A and B are shown apart, each in its own frame.
Chain A
Amino acid sequence: MGVTSMLARWASKSVHVLIVGVPGWDESRMLLEAELDRRGWRVALSPADADLLAVCGLPGEVLGAASDLLWNQLPGPRTRVSVTTPVALSALLDAAVAHLVDDSWQREDARARSRPVAAEDPRPNTGEHESMSHEDMDHGDMDHGGMDMPTPGGIPLAGGGDDRDGLEMDVLNVSLGPVLPHWPAGLVVDCVLQGDVIVSAGARLLEAASAPKEVSEKAVTDVTRGRRRIIRLCDDASNLLALAGWQTAAQNARRLRDDARRGADSTDHAAALDRLRRRAERSVLLRWSLKGISLGEIGLGAGTNTGTATPDDQAAVDIRHRLIGWLREAAVLAGTSSGRQSPAAGDSDPVREAQDALEALPELLRGTDLGTARLLIAGLGLDTAALAQTHERTHD
C-alpha cells in the first residue's frame, strides 16, 4: 500500500460536507446532519473547507446554478451527492467516500478543471468565475462613476457613499446566501455593505424545483404536528446558539432535535429541553452578548404567536427571550405527552408569518453589522418551507 492511498484512507475518516439546503426540504438536511454526526464527519463552513457537496432536496434553476458554482469552488478531491430520500443515505455516503479516495478519478477531475481556467478570458463575468467567496458575490452591478478604470480580476471598483458618521466610505455589494452555515434554506439577502455594516438590503428566496412528497396529509395527526413543531423549534434554537458562538449548547439543541425526530421518550425529552433552557437563561455571557439585539416591531407579531409573550412586550422581541421562548415551548409540547399542539401555536398561520418576516427583513437589517444581522435572521426563525408555498401560489 502506497503513501498516497494511506493518506487517502486517513483523509476519508472525517469528510467535511458543505450542505446546500433547499426550501421545503429541511427534513432531508436534518437527516443528513444526523448521519454526519453518527459518522464523525463535519459540516464545512465554506466550500474551500469541503470535500463533499451535499444538495439536500431538488433545487430550482437559480439555486441549482448556485450549487454548481459552489461545486467549482470545492478545492478537490471532491464529490457531490443529492439527498432526497432517507432510503439508502448511508450507502450514498459510502459511495461518496469511495469516490473521494479514488485517486485516479480525482486526478482526472483536477486535470479537467485546470484546463478551461487557463484558457479563460482574464476579465470574465464574475458570476461565472470560480472563486469569490461562496455566497455568490456579485460585484457586477456597481457604479464606479462611469470611468473606464481597469478592473482587476474582472471585479469593478467599489463606489463610495456616505456612511452613518457622515464620512465617505466604499460600498460593496455582497449577497449573503443562499448557502451559508446556519442559514435559512434558499434565502438570499443582497446587501450593500460599508465595512461590515449593512447599509441596505433586499431579501429574496430561491425556490425548490418541487416540494418533497408529503407523507400524505392524512397521516399528519396532532401528535406528528406537535413533534414537527418541536423539531423546528430545536433546529432554530440550535442555529441561533451556534451563531452566538456557543457550540456545546448548539450541539445539545441539535441532539434534542434528532431525538425528537427519532421519537424519543417524551418525558425525558421534555426534561432535557428544560435543562437546556435553564442553561441558556443562566448564561451571563449569552445575556451580555445578545443584549439589545431585538427584532423590534417585526418580532411582535410573530413573537406573541409562538408563545414567547412575556409580560413585557419589549422583551418578547429580544432574540435571547425568543430563544428561551422556543425552548420553553418545545419543552411544553414534549411534556404534554400526546405531543398535542399548544393552543397558542394553533392560531398562527406560518405562511403569513414567514411572509411578513421576509418583507420586514430589509428594514430590520439596515444599519446592523454582519454578526448582528446573522443573529437577527436566525432570531426570526424564518420558515422558508412555508415561504416556498406562498411563492408557488403567487407565481402560478
Chain B
Amino acid sequence: MTEPIVQVSPAWAVLAPLALLLFALAGAGLNGALVARSVGRPFRSGASAPLAQVARLLRQRRQVTVAADVLLWRIGAGGLVVVAILKILVIPLGPWTLADLDVGVVWFNTMDVMIWALFWLIGWGANSAHALVGGYRFLSLAVSYELPLMFALITPAVAARSLRVGDVVAAQQNLWFVIWMPVAFVIFCGSVIAFSSWGPYATAVGRDIAGGFLTDVSGVDRLLILTGRYAVLTAGAAFAVPLFLGGGGGPLLPDWLWTLGKTALVLATFVAIRHRVPTIRPDRFAEVAWIIVLPAALLQVLVVAIIVVGS
C-alpha cells in the first residue's frame, strides 16, 4: 500500500545525513567483519574496526606532499560526503521525501558525475605518480560506465513516464521494475560499485599502484575520503530501492521501514562483493562496456519503451 509521496519540511534534512552516515558505518562494519573472518579472527572483532579506524585517523596528522595543490586536494576529499548527501535528498523514505524534484532521476545522475571531478582532484592534488595514475584510472573507468548508467537510470523513468522519483515509485505498485528490466538493474548496480571505486572496480585505489589516489592522503583527509566512498555506495544502494525495488512497497511493515530494509540488503550485497572477485581492469573493461553493455542497456530501454507505448 503506497501513499502519494509528500515533501517534508527542510528541517528534517538534518536527519538525512545522519541516517546516511549510520548506514555507511554499518556497511564499513560489515566489511570489517568480513575481513576479520577472512584472516580467521572472530566476526565481531572486525565489526568494530571502522570505529577504531575513525579514532586512528582522527588522531593522525594530515601530511602534505611537495608542491601539492592543497586546495583542490581538500575539495576532492571533502566533496564526496557532500555529494552523497545531495544524492539522497531525492530518495523517498516511505511516503516522505526531502526534495520532490521534477527531475530527481537526472539529479542523481548529475551528482554521480560530480564524483568524476572529485576522484580526479584527489589524485591530482597529491602531486605524486601513483595518486595521479589512480585519478586517471578512475576517469577511464568512468567513460565506460557512465553511458550505460544513464540509460539504466532512464529505463525506469521511461516506464513511469516521469523523471520524478515519486512517480517512478508509484508506477511500481503492481510490479517492481527489477522484474521486467533486470538488465537495467544489473547495470545500475555495477555502475554504483564503479562510481564508488569499490570491489572489482576499485582499480583507482588498487594495490598495484600502492593505493592509487589514497596513496598520499592521511589523517582527516583520508577519513573523509573513506567515509565518502561508503556514503556514495550507500546512496547508490538507497537509490536502487525507489528505482527498481518498488520503493516503500511491501506487506505488513510501514513503508519507511521497507525502504530502509531494502537499502540495507542492497548495501550488504555490495559490501559482500568487495573482495570476492578479481579486479576488472579499466583498459579492458572499456571495450566490453561499449560493445556489449551499452547496446544491452539500449535494448532494455527499447523493450521497455515498446511495452509502455503498447500498453
**Which A positions have Cβ atoms within 8 angstroms of B?**
4, 7-8, 10-14, 16, 37-38, 40, 45-46, 48-49, 51, 73, 75-77, 110, 126, 129, 131-135, 137, 152-155, 172, 174, 180-182, 193, 195-196, 241-249, 251-252, 255, 283, 285-286, 288-289, 369-371, 374-375
Contact present for A193 and B129 (CB under 8 Å)? yes
Q: Which of B45-79 contact A (CB under 8 A)?
A: 45-46, 48-49, 51-53, 55-56, 58-68
Residue in contact with B129 in the complex, picked from A133, A283, A289, A371, CB distance below 8 Å: A133
A131 to B214, CA, bound (A): 14
Q: Is B40 an interface residue (CB 8 A)?
A: yes
Contact present for A11 and B55 (CB under 8 Å)? yes
A/B interface sample: 16 pairs, CB < 8 A = A10-B52, A45-B207, A48-B217, A49-B222, A75-B219, A77-B59, A131-B66, A131-B128, A133-B210, A133-B215, A135-B210, A137-B128, A181-B207, A251-B38, A374-B208, A374-B209
Contact present for A180 and B210 (CB under 8 Å)? yes
Closest 5 A/B residue pairs (Cβ) = A245-B279, A153-B67, A247-B275, A10-B55, A131-B65
Kindly count the residue-residue contacts between A and B in the assembled complex, taking CB atoms under 8 Å apart: 177
Q: Is B263 an interface residue (CB 8 A)?
A: no
**Which B positions have Cβ atoms within 8 angstroms of A?**
36, 38-41, 45-46, 48-49, 51-53, 55-56, 58-68, 126-131, 133, 136-137, 200, 202-203, 206-211, 214-219, 222, 274-281, 283-284
A11 CB to closest chain B CB, in angstroms?
4
Q: A40-B49, A51-B56, A134-B210 are in contact. Are A246 and B65 (CB under 8 A)?
A: no
Residue in contact with A45 in the complex, picked from B48, B53, B203, B210, CB distance below 8 Å: B210
A242 to B279, CA, bound (A): 9
Contact present for A244 and B52 (CB under 8 Å)? no
A40 to B36, CA, bound (A): 7
Contact present for B200 and A40 (CB under 8 Å)? no
Residue in contact with B200 in the complex, picked from A16, A131, A245, A371, CB distance below 8 Å: A245
A333 to B277, CA, bound (A): 28
Nearest B residue (CB) for A101: B59
A155 to B127, CA, bound (A): 11
Contact present for B66 and A246 (CB under 8 Å)? no
Contact present for A371 and B207 (CB under 8 Å)? no
A278 CB to closest chain B CB, in angstroms?
15
Residue in contact with B46 in the complex, picked from A40, A155, A244, CB distance below 8 Å: A40
Residues of chain A with a CB closer than 8 A to B275's CB: 246-248, 251
Nearest B residue (CB) for A172: B129
Residues of chain A with a CB closer than 8 A to B53's CB: 14
A48 to B216, CA, bound (A): 5
Contact present for A75 and B284 (CB under 8 Å)? no
Q: A182-B208, A247-B276, A289-B279 are in contact. List 11 more A-B contacts (CB 8 A).
A: A37-B41, A45-B214, A51-B60, A75-B62, A135-B129, A244-B278, A285-B278, A286-B278, A289-B278, A289-B281, A369-B283
Which of B36, B126, B277 gathers most chain A CB within 10 Å? B277
B28 CB to closest chain A CB, in angstroms?
12
Which of B64, B206, B211, B278 gathers most chain A CB within 10 Å? B278
Q: A37-B40, A46-B216, A193-B129 are in contact. Are A181 and B59 (CB under 8 A)?
A: no
Residues of chain B with a CB closer than 8 A to A45's CB: 207, 210-211, 214-215
Nearest B residue (CB) for A291: B284
Residues of chain A with a CB closer than 8 A to B60's CB: 51, 75-77
Residues of chain A with a CB closer than 8 A to B38's CB: 247-248, 251-252
A298 CB to closest chain B CB, in angstroms?
20
Contact present for B216 and A289 (CB under 8 Å)? no
Contact present for A137 and B129 (CB under 8 Å)? yes
A77 CB to closest chain B CB, in angstroms?
6
Residue in contact with A10 in the complex, picked from B51, B66, B276, CB distance below 8 Å: B51
B49 CB to closest chain A CB, in angstroms?
6
Residues of chain B with a CB closer than 8 A to A11's CB: 52, 55-56, 58-59
A7 to B64, CA, bound (A): 23
A182 to B283, CA, bound (A): 22
Q: A131-B64, A371-B208 are in contact. Are A48 and B222 (CB under 8 A)?
A: yes
Residue in contact with A196 in the complex, picked from B51, B133, B211, CB distance below 8 Å: B133
A46 to B59, CA, bound (A): 18
Residues of chain A with a CB closer than 8 A to B55's CB: 7-8, 10-11, 13
Residues of chain B with a CB closer than 8 A to A49's CB: 211, 214, 218, 222
Residues of chain B with a CB closer than 8 A to A13's CB: 48-49, 52, 55
A371 to B218, CA, bound (A): 24
A258 CB to closest chain B CB, in angstroms?
9
Contact present for B206 and A245 (CB under 8 Å)? yes
Contact present for B66 and A154 (CB under 8 Å)? yes
B187 CB to closest chain A CB, in angstroms?
17
B127 CB to closest chain A CB, in angstroms?
8
Contact present for B280 and A126 (CB under 8 Å)? no
Q: A45-B211, A133-B129, A172-B129 are in contact. Are A285 and B52 (CB under 8 A)?
A: no
Nearest A residue (CB) for B277: A285
Contact present for A16 and B133 (CB under 8 Å)? no
Residues of chain B with a CB closer than 8 A to A75's CB: 60-63, 218-219
Q: A77-B59, A246-B278, A285-B280 are in contact. Are A133 and B208 (CB under 8 A)?
A: no
A196 to B281, CA, bound (A): 14
Residues of chain B with a CB closer than 8 A to A16's CB: 56
A131 CB to closest chain B CB, in angstroms?
4
A10 to B136, CA, bound (A): 35
Contact present for B61 and A76 (CB under 8 Å)? yes
Residues of chain A with a CB closer than 8 A to B276's CB: 247-248
A236 to B218, CA, bound (A): 30
Residues of chain A with a CB closer than 8 A to B210's CB: 45-46, 133-135, 180-181
Contact present for B216 and A133 (CB under 8 Å)? yes
A142 to B127, CA, bound (A): 17
Residues of chain B with a CB closer than 8 A to A137's CB: 128-129
